Amino acid sequence: MKTSRFLPAGTANIAVLAFCFLPHALIRAQENSASAHSAGSPPRYINVVHERLKPGRDAAYDGMLSNIRDDYERFNIPAYWIEMKSITGPDESFSLNFGDSFGDLEKMGAGMAAAVTAHPELAGLQDRQLAENTSSVTNLIAERVDPLSFHAGSINFAKMRMLQVTVFHIRPGHEGEFAEAAKSIASAYEKVAGSPAWVIYAVHSGAPVPCYLMLTALSSLKDEDDAAAPRAPAMEAAGPAVERRLQEIARSAYDSIETNIYVVNPLLSHMPSDFTAEDPAYWMPKTAPASEVKSSR
């Protein structure tokens, strides 16, 4: 965790992007796979920390986060995050914390609480970083929805360099239609070679619901070109009846859809060794200071 959602008042607070699929909560828990996965596989839960940056504060934010990250390494604090910066949309930080249970998230929070008690200067630095450099923070927890995802088992977040995030805000009572649309689209793409993989998360807490996040890991922006190629063949394979139904659902069920792309900064991230071991040259480079790793904004 970048800062703990479980710390008492007076320590830095952080926000997450999430959504909720409440009418299908029981179904989701029963259908989600419990099979073994690699450290880079999509976890069952994500905690998304969304920080809107004040104008002109990018460099200061990165510099302070670099110091915070170094302290987490030095003090061996078992709380982890992937740090990203927006390259579309507002200027903002977007970070992911992983957990396969709420117990995992709580354990990270407890470890951080103990660390800032032992090192109060770290808590002060985290508070300053947010107060001086951010205008708003959102904190959300979301659960993976396997039946609505597409080849999610092939996704490895340890290999990604960018992340495309699509947020679906659904009108209450239309969650079933969203699920129908997601499954129809996945079925259509299944018929076309070279289709991109994605994983869908439903927010458990921290945001208005129902809301969904679709995450697509990218190695570069060129992946967007590759993802565009199967769209027309996939819809052709689905047939006109399915396409008409998808248009009906879009009109009746969706309040809004927003897509943004974020670039990963490995030098401002803090991930466990089994994760970084999947691509150590990227996650643990012996090069420039973290503040010199810039996004393409």
Give the chain as a 3 state SS string.
Answer: CCCCCCCCECECCCCCCCCCCHHHHHHHHHHCCCCCCCCCCCCCEEEEEEEEECCCCHHHHHHHHHHHHHHHHHCCCCCCEEEEEECCCCCEEEEEEEECCHHHHHHHHHHHHHHHHHCHHHHHHHHHHHHHHEEEEEEEEEEECHHHCECHHHCCHHHCCEEEEEEEEECCCCHHHHHHHHHHHHHHHHCCCCCCCEEEEEEEECCCCCEEEEEEEECCCHHHHHHHCCHHHHHHHHCHHHHHHHHHHHHHHEEEEEEEEEEECHHHCECCHHHHCCCHHHHCCCCCCHHHCCCCC
Which pLDDT score is estimated for 116?
A: 85
Which pLDDT score is estimated for 16?
A: 27
Provide the whole-model pTM. Answer: 0.84
Is the sign of the CA dihedral 53, 54, 55, 61 positive or negative?
A: negative
Q: Round to the nearest angstrom and report the end-to-end CA distance of the chain.
A: 25
pLDDT tens for the chain, 297 residues: list them: 555 333 332 323 222 222 233 333 333 433 444 344 789 999 999 999 999 999 999 999 999 999 999 999 999 999 999 999 999 999 999 999 999 999 999 988 888 888 889 999 999 999 999 999 999 999 999 999 999 999 999 999 999 999 999 999 999 999 999 999 999 999 999 998 888 999 999 999 999 999 999 999 999 998 888 888 888 898 898 999 999 999 999 999 999 999 999 999 999 999 999 999 999 999 998 754 544 444 444
Q: In the chain, what is the greatest distance between 2 CA atoms, to the nearest angstrom?
A: 63
| Closest to 62 measured CA to CA, from 290, 283, 295, 297 | 290
